[in-house]
Amino acid sequence: MTEPSFSWPDNARLAMSFVINIEEGSEMSTARGDKGPEPVDELGVSLKIPIRNYVNESNYDYGVRAGAKRIFGAFEKAGIRTTVTAAAMALENAPELADMIRAGDHEPCSHGWRWVHQFSFDEARERDFIGKAVSSIEKTTGTRPHGWLSRYLHTDRTHRLLVEAGFEYHMDDLSDDTPRWLMVDTEAGAKPLVIIPYALDTNDMKFWLAPGYTPAQWLDYAVDTFDRLYEEGADGPKMMSVGLHLRIMGRPGRIGALEKLIQHVQSKPDVWCTTRLDIARHFAAQVPAPAAGGAHG
């Protein structure tokens, strides 16, 4: 497969993308009219009955109360702008998080209106879900989102709905270490959308998933990933993604691993620490979108 020819600003080897996921306060709960409680649970008990899981809700609330200050504080200290994939309702319920996004000049990216499974929606409901997310995030942060991250899955129409809603990129993709174009079929013809691939292997969910990483194991893996991509970046631009959650990396025993990774990244020259929107726009400016008939989605 032929990779497009382009370069990062100042011929950087690597574009480093830190992603802060904000879901807390928008997850599933019978208190919000859902059929059951949120199944993603560090407690190790996934309830299958329609009962409110107060303890799991408090674990999510920890991210807002304590974790956010640590994570946003680490990037403030380092002077790094991140992409914040936010479920819109989470920012509605915790406007102090929107304040942190603005204060750090971070990029708001849409993680949906709520952290729920939009892949089960019909087209009209999914379109409304996307539109509500755009309007809400623009209201809370002052900036409309230009990027999108689904919760796990998307439908065969999601890309078209994103293009129609004015999105510039999506990150529902794990297939590469560089951006690429996707030509999306619409009623007006094929339209381009940038794919900014994400990564799960460096995500802090690895603390929760069995076998769970210790902070040292996560740090070792993230540093090894960075070092290999940095080395490969001498022959062509690469990018690295690190996904973080307020309720996970924001714990006192884990935040040090993030701070050490940031120090390692900043110890190397020719690294562009930036937002995913900056990456998408730089790529789009350097690599013309393919003509209709290219890769479609």
Phi, psi (deg, nearest 5) at residue 153: -125, 160
Q: How far is CA 189 from CA 38, 212, 272, in A?
A: 39, 46, 35
pLDDT higher than threshold 90 for residue 47: no
Mean pLDDT of the chain: 94
pLDDT value of position 43: 77
Confidence bin at 71 (pLDDT 50/70/90): very high
CA atoms within 13 A of residue 165's CA, in its CB half-sphere: 26
CA atoms within 13 A of residue 153's CA, in its CB half-sphere: 7
The Cα–Cα gap between 134 and 91 comes to: 12
What the block records as the tokens of 148 is 């999108």
Confidence bin at 4 (pLDDT 50/70/90): confident
The answer to whether the beta carbons of residues 60 and 25 sit under 8 Å apart is yes
The Cα–Cα gap between 73 and 8 comes to: 27
Confidence bin at 296 (pLDDT 50/70/90): low
Of 283 and 1, more confident:
283
Of 170 and 45, more confident:
170
Confidence bin at 48 (pLDDT 50/70/90): confident
The answer to whether the beta carbons of residues 82 and 104 sit under 8 Å apart is yes
Q: How far is CA 266 from CA 139, 181, 202, 209, 234, in A?
A: 33, 29, 18, 28, 17
- What pLDDT digit, counting tens, does each position of 250-286 carry? 999 999 999 999 999 999 999 999 999 999 999 999 9
pLDDT higher than threshold 60 for residue 61: yes
Domains present along the chain, CATH in parentheses: 9-286 (3.20.20.370)
- What pLDDT digit, counting tens, does each position of 196-222 carry? 999 999 999 999 988 899 999 999 999
pLDDT value of position 1: 57
DSSP assignment string, the chain: -PPPP---GGG-SEEEEEEEEE-TTSS--GGGT-SS--S--TTS----SS---HHHHHHHHHIIIIIHHHHHHHHHHHT---EEEE-HHHHHH-HHHHHHHHHTTPEEEE--SSSS-GGGS-HHHHHHHHHHHHHHHHHHHSS---EE--SS---TTHHHHHHHTT--EE----S-SS-EEEEEEETTEEEEEEE----STTSGGGGTSSSPPPHHHHHHHHHHHHHHHHHHTTSS-EEEEEEEETTTTTSTTTHHHHHHHHHHHHTSSSEEE--HHHHHHHHHHHSPPPPTTSSB-
Find tokens 């674990």 and name the residue: 59
- What pLDDT digit, counting tens, does each position of 116-154 carry? 988 899 999 999 999 999 999 999 999 999 999 999 889
Question: pTM (2 decimals)?
Answer: 0.95
What does the pLDDT average to over 175-203? Answer: 96
